[in-house]
Amino acid sequence: MTKIFAGKSPKKTFLGMFAVMSATSIFLNSCNAKNEKTDSEKIILKNPPVAKIVPKIDDENVSTNKRVIYLTFDDGPNRGTENLLKILHKRNVCATAFLVGKHAVGSKKQKEDLELLKKDQLIELANHSFTHAHNKYTDFYKNPAAVVQDFDVAKDSLKLLNKIARTPGRNIWRLNNITVTDLKSSTEAANSLKKAGYQVIGWDLEWKPTNKMELKGKHQEMLKKVDSIFYNDLEKTSRHLVFLTHDQYLTDADSINELDLFIEKLQKSNRFVFRKISEYPKINEVLN
């Protein structure tokens, strides 16, 4: 894979500056505006505020002093979806939810959460398949035509307005400028999705769970990983980091708090901006 550069990341740390940054130094934009709510105000508004429209940031125009983070959450609507929305509104940051079609009809609560997601201006919806491969990934990717059909069913049933997709159980990228397949056995299926017009997005950093399905580790560890990725230019597109975790890990108080602190610290560093995945560089170009 050829690395895509939007200006080489200078060899310096970004998160190590927290101790000397003012607690009130917060970068203001549509997904990063300072939120005046207190920690006790955690109820989602029936009519969530509309995010202010700002010019799109691309890889040529991001300030060399800023890095772009794309918060993405898989497998929704699911346990934890409502808690995710509370965090995003508390911090006023945008994110992308990669939805599973069958989860949208799995229960009354999941149907209600899907409606919350659809109405929320801070959330962008994308495709994470209909069946989630029935959690049998090896078998799923053996049939490329069935994989494409599964994503088509999800797109239609969820009424998605784009063809941005993420493959279940695989970190696969298929954009004009990025081709990555974590397991070679999935290559043909990934190529079929691209041929069908899907822009397949993987991730640069994942916050994984414990065996209890809670976020593993503390936010400080994740901040160091963000710093390391940018310092060592490990992101797929320089200065642009795609972050992944899952709705269902946000059901316990500790996990909710750790994700909230993670976002808060990134904001207060004044070195990062948050964007929806549709603003990832070159994602909207016509695929070859």
Residue 118 pLDDT exceeds 70: yes
In the prediction, which pLDDT does 53 show? 39
Average pLDDT rounded to a whole number, residues 184-188 = 97
In the prediction, which pLDDT does 263 show? 98
Total residues found in the chain within this entry? 288
In the prediction, which pLDDT does 177 show? 86
Phi, psi of 244 (to 5 degrees): -130, 135
Residue 185 pLDDT exceeds 90: yes
Distances (CA, A) of 32 to 8, 149, 176, 229: 24, 37, 29, 21
Separation of alpha carbons 223 and 232, rounded Å:
14
Beta strands in the chain (DSSP E): 67-76, 95-99, 123-127, 164-165, 172-174, 179-181, 199-200, 205-206, 240-246, 272-274
Q: Give the chain's domains with CATH numbers.
A: 68-279 (3.20.20.370)
Q: Are 270 and 27 in contact (CB under 8 A)?
A: yes
Kindly state the DSSP code that residue 227 receives in the 8-state scheme: H
pTM here is: 0.84
Residue 132 pLDDT exceeds 60: yes
Distances (CA, A) of 265 to 9, 16, 81, 94: 20, 11, 22, 16
Among candidate residues 219, 232, 233, the one with its CA nearest the CA of residue 266:
219
Distances (CA, A) of 263 to 8, 88, 202, 284: 24, 9, 20, 27
pLDDT digits (tens, 9 = 90+) for 37-95: 444 344 343 444 444 433 343 444 557 789 999 999 999 999 999 999 999 999 999 99
Q: Are 117 and 76 in contact (CB under 8 A)?
A: yes
- Residue 224 neighbours by CB distance under 10 Å: 13
Residue 261 pLDDT exceeds 90: yes
